[in-house]
Amino acid sequence: MVRVKSRYLLCEVNVTDRNQLLQLDDRAVSASVKDVVQRMYGDYGAALCSFGFSVKYVNAVSGIVFLRFPKKCYKRLWSALPFITSIEARGKKIQCFLNCIYVGGTIRTCQKFLIRYNAHQLRRMLPKCKSEEEKHKVQQAILDCCLTARTDESEDPLESEED
């Protein structure tokens, strides 16, 4: 049985100014990854990236990116990712870096991890809330995460209030 196996890297884009994040789109991320792999590994890297690599999902609000790499060369391509210093989106350069938080074999496992990760981030946000209203909203969001047992991703619009 030949099954094409791949690795999905769940990355978080860290910026100093969160408003700049909103301009992210998948083409910009894909172009910057290909560019950095080309710089580090030259033509061989460019060839590795040309098939099998794609950006599956970008969430501009929380800065989460899903990258798909073929299983044979994902470690090599992953080692080039720390050298990304900026992503150019819609003509503007966003100073950022990618932090890989999970490597999964399928999109579904990555999704499950992302749900737990987002719930954890909500709990981290709670002590940083500045007003009673915000605190109440975050507490409500945490309760929603715990009570509902949904398998699809529950995106939280409050992520933009983080930090």
- Nearest CB to other proteins, comparing residues 21 and 152: 21
Given 95, 126, 136, 140, the residue binding other proteins (CB under 8 A): 95
Determine contact, residues 73/50, Cβ cutoff 8 Å.
Answer: no
Contact between 129 and other proteins per CB under 8 A: no
Given 48, 89, 98, 122, the residue binding other proteins (CB under 8 A): 98
Contact between 106 and other proteins per CB under 8 A: no
Distances (CA, A) of 129 to 117, 120, 163: 19, 15, 9
Question: What SS3 class is residue 77?
Answer: helix
- Which residue has tokens 């981030």? 121
Determine contact, residues 37/45, Cβ cutoff 8 Å.
Answer: yes
Given 5, 42, 93, 99, the residue binding other proteins (CB under 8 A): 99
- Nearest CB to other proteins, comparing residues 17 and 152: 17
Contact between 96 and other proteins per CB under 8 A: yes
Determine contact, residues 133/124, Cβ cutoff 8 Å.
Answer: no
Within a 13 Å sphere around the CA of 151, how many CA atoms are in the beta-carbon half? 3
Nearest to 86 by CA among 148, 145, 149, 16: 16
Contact between 16 and other proteins per CB under 8 A: yes
Footprint of other proteins on 26-85 (CB under 8 A): 39, 75-76, 78-79, 81-83, 85
Shortest reach from residue 95's CB to other proteins, in Å: 6
Which two three-digit tokens encode residue 145? 């995460």
Contact between 100 and other proteins per CB under 8 A: yes
Give the span between the Cα atoms of 63 and 65, in whole angstroms. 7
Shortest reach from residue 1's CB to other proteins, in Å: 28
Please give the residue ranges that form the binding site for other proteins (CB under 8 A): 14, 16, 39, 75-76, 78-79, 81-83, 85, 95-101, 124
